[in-house]
Chain A
Amino acid sequence: MNGLLQNEWVKAWYGRKIWMFLIAMFVFLILGWAFAAVIHSVGRFSIGPMEFVEPGLVSLNVFINLYTVVLVTTAIAGEYGNGTMKQQLIRPVPREQLLLSKWLITMLIATALIFILTIALLVIDQVYFTSGESFFAMIYEAFILALYQLPRLVFYISLATLMAVLTRSTALTLVITFFPYFFGNIIGAIAMLYDWSHWLVLTHLDVYQNYAGMGGGPPFENIWLSVGFIGIHAVVFLLLAHLIFQYRDVV
């Protein structure tokens, strides 16, 4: 399994250009910082604790979501497309390990990216905006904020895994996975008209808005029920993906 994870990492780094994404994120950070610095220096709206970190994390997190969905999609559907999947499946590695390593490395990269972003935001915040103000309390708050982002990542990466195994097509997987990502809010809003809407997983995905922000009424009684509900979906996606990956012919 170690070897498999190492393989996936090498492919992600060289083939799917993580470093390019890191550069892009860095540029976004600088732009965000410059924008905040201008507002800050005008003086009318001074930037308080977390007022740089929170919007920064919430907005840049979108790119991490999109990018990691692309990562897992190319690692599965892309490898069916270019003929490398079949060569891997001929090797004496249990199929479930191969699939699991692809999902796992994407999850690790996604989690790492979220925390790297959080740390970068915190550092900028400390150096330029709210230096000195209860730094440790802020670290704690920022990391909780980062954790709030994880359920949605798990959900979309698992959904993309299932769709990639099912369709074996990169384009189709991305279309199907991004559809709820972009239209989830609208669908959720429409569903709100019905009292079963809280059984729609899309209404749960923004855990931060639902339970820590000023969203209108959380779908479940507490956050753990929501997280569990999202988790059950992810597990079902992965189980289905496993069964299809295990038993479907590769022609």
Chain B
Amino acid sequence: MCVNHNDHPLIVEGLNKRISDQAIISNMSFKLERGKIYGFLGPNGSGKTTTIRMIGTLVAADHGEITINGYNTKTNREKALKNLGAIVENPGLFEYLSGEQNLKQFANLGVDAIDQSRINEVVKLVDLEHAIHKKVKAYSLGMKQRLGIAVSILHHPSVLILDEPTNGLDPNGIRQLRNDLQKLAKEDGVTLLVSSHQLSEVEILCDRAIVIKEGSVMGELDMHMTGKNKDELTVVIEAEPKAEAISVLSSFGEVMDTDQYLELTSQTYNTLPKITRALANANISVYAFSYKRRLEDAYFSLTREKGGIK
């Protein structure tokens, strides 16, 4: 295996899929860096689930290659899948079996034997010890999601793909899930691809985000305030008097008046102090000053760019 695969446990290259003569995925390519958490973003119907199905070999691509840990999913299906854990749309559990029986079912579907201690370990990780002998029928949605994750990490996958895992979770459940996933990435070096519609959620959970639209990758974003990413902030200001504040801020860029706040887009991290100083010098009272990361803006500009607004 070449070095590339060690750094990138999942490589998707030139994927194409037509369903009933309609292009669903066109020339989709991306690769994931090991140990990073990726958001997978895109409007409804943009092809996130279809892409995940192709990675999991549920749907065959018309063209293109998918490589998981160096194994091609077409020519080396079982070896590739051995390195993948995935939940497509819903956890797909056997409702009439207990949590532990579910884990055993999927343990039996692996290549390497999975012993009881590994089962106990994942149960502990997702915090389901108290309910593991109950039938899944009696689980709450959040418990099912967590059991689904336990099932999909049972065999130590290098790549874990989750399709809208926060669907239906309460804020507490979302936070717990986030902690679990970050722990997996950090401690076990698992690489994650998490599709979601919650931009704010992706922003806190992920290191990077892949934005797709109409079956193609529109761009990749870095969630951390490092490097060139620093110059994509939107500054939010509440100040009086407004008119004078706008005239001061205009010298830094485009100002938007959103009733209560003034928003200044496309700012760099380093200019933030200059803005506060300029406002102070003009004797303007500042009541609130903060900045937003650029994900929402970037998402909209990426998904709006080509083909206009749908």
Contacts and interface: CB of A to CB of B under 8 A. Distances in A.
B59 A83 contact: no
Interface string A43-86: 00000000000000000000000000000000000000011111
A89 B73 CA distance: 13
Contacts of B53: 86, 249-251
A92 B81 CA distance: 5
Nearest to A89: B58
Interface of B: 19, 50, 53, 56-60, 77-82, 84, 86-97, 101, 104-111, 151
A108 interface: no
A172 to B, nearest CB: 21
The contact size tier of chain A is: 20 to 34
6 contacts: A4-B109, A10-B104, A10-B105, A89-B57, A91-B110, A92-B80
Given A14-B101, A82-B95, A250-B58, 9 more contacts: A3-B108, A7-B109, A83-B92, A86-B88, A87-B93, A90-B81, A92-B110, A247-B60, A251-B19
A88 B60 contact: no
Interface in A221-251: 247, 249-251
A87 B78 CA distance: 14
A131 interface: no
A93 interface: yes
A83 B90 contact: yes
A70 B107 CA distance: 26
Contacts of A90: 56-58, 81, 84, 86, 88
Contacts of A83: 89-92
A84 B58 contact: no
Contacts of B58: 86, 89-90, 249-251
A7 B60 contact: no
Interface string A83-121: 111111111111000000000000000000000000000
A250 to B, nearest CB: 4
Nearest to B17: A249
A90 B90 CA distance: 13
A91 B87 CA distance: 11
Contact of A251 (B57, B59, B107, B151): B59
Nearest to B97: A14
Contacts of A92: 77-82, 109-111
Given A82-B92, A250-B59, A7 B105 contact: yes
